[in-house]
Amino acid sequence: MKRTSVVVALALLGLAGGAFANEANYGRNMAAACGSCHGTNGKSVGGMEALAGYPKDKLVKAVQDFRSGAKPATVMHQLAKGYTDAQIEAIATYYAAQK
């Protein structure tokens, strides 16, 4: 039912037919770039942290901490600096919803 409510909500917001799917897919597409390391839809097969079902606020915080250096990293600090807060928000929303 989840998607039904989403599309309906978006329709009520008055988004044009062609555009809404792209909006809905934004987080999915952005998150897919992380999937090469963290697994398809965040389902890691091991050795990398799984991001599927990762709480949204926790992911946002982790990325901020990677950027600031508060959270130690081998590579994530360098990747985290390539994304805006809005982009991380979209990615975090997507992963939080993955089972």
Partner 1 sequence: MTINRRDFLKVSAAGAAAAGIGSLAGCAGGGSGGSGNVVVIGGGYGGATVAKYVRMWSDGGINVTLIERNTNFVSCPMSNLVVGGERKLEEITVSYDGLRKHGVRVIQGEVTAVDADKRSVKLANGDTIAYDRLVVSPGIDFMWESVPGLTPELANTKILHAWKAGPQTVALRKQLEDMKDGGVYAIAIPKAPYRCPPGPYERACLVANYLKAKKPKSKVLILDANDDVVSKKGLFMAAWKDLYSGMIEYRPKHEISSLDANSMTLKFEFADAVKADVLNVVPGHRAGDIAKQAGLITANNRWCGIDWRTMESTARPGIHVIGDATLSAPLMPKSGHMTTQHAKIAAAAIVSLMSGEQVADPMSIANTCYSYVDGKQAVHVASVHTYDAKEKTFKTVAGSGGVSAARNEIEGKYAWAWAKNVWADALL
Binding site for ligand HEC (CB under 6 A): 33-34, 36-38, 48-49, 51, 59, 62, 73-76, 79, 83, 91
Determine the distance from the C-alpha atom of residue 4 to the mean position of all C-alpha atoms in its chain, rounded to a whole number.
Answer: 20
Instruction: Yes or no: say if 51 and 59 are a contact pair by the CB < 8 Å rule.
Output: yes
Radius of gyration of the chain (CA): 15
For position 64 contacting partner 1 by CB under 8 A, the verdict is no
x/- letters, 7..36, toward partner 1 (CB under 8 A): xxxxxx-----xx-xxxxxxxxxx-xxxxx
Instruction: Yes or no: say if 63 and 18 are a contact pair by the CB < 8 Å rule.
Output: no
Q: Closest separation between CB of residue 49 and ligand HEC, Å?
A: 4
For position 60 contacting partner 1 by CB under 8 A, the verdict is no
Positive or negative, the Cα torsion across 1, 25, 39, 76? negative
Give the total residue count for the chain. 99
Binding site for partner 1 (CB under 8 A): 1-12, 18-19, 21-30, 32-40, 44-48, 56, 74-75, 78-83, 87, 93-94, 96-98
